[in-house]
Amino acid sequence: MGLQKTSGAAGGVVYDLDGTLVDSRDDLADSVNAMLGRLGLPERDPVVIYGFIGEGAERLIRRSLGPTHEERYPKRPRSGARSTGSACWPGPACIPG
């Protein structure tokens, strides 16, 4: 049984947030830095953001805001695509093996 070509909108999208299928750290760091920019805050080094990953999106965002700006959590932008003006990111890389 081969792949069948279909037309129309996708019924859903799967995103691997825990990094078991793809290395999505760079994409998460890009999204966090886009959010910080929309809030008028300085970007963080991606390696610093990597250390914030784990325990869900809310923790990632709060850690990225830091204790000085954590009260801004309710005001954060809700969509990375809207914040960059583009819905096309380069995409995560597959994990070798």
Contact 23, 95 (CB under 8 A): yes
- Active-site hit among 16, 26, 27, 30: 16
Q: What is the dihedral of CA 22, 25, 30, 32, to 10 degrees?
A: 120
Distance in angstroms (rounded) separating the CA atoms of residues 35 and 29:
10
User: Does the annotation count 16 as an active-site position?
Assistant: yes
Tell me which residues are annotated as active site.
Answer: 16
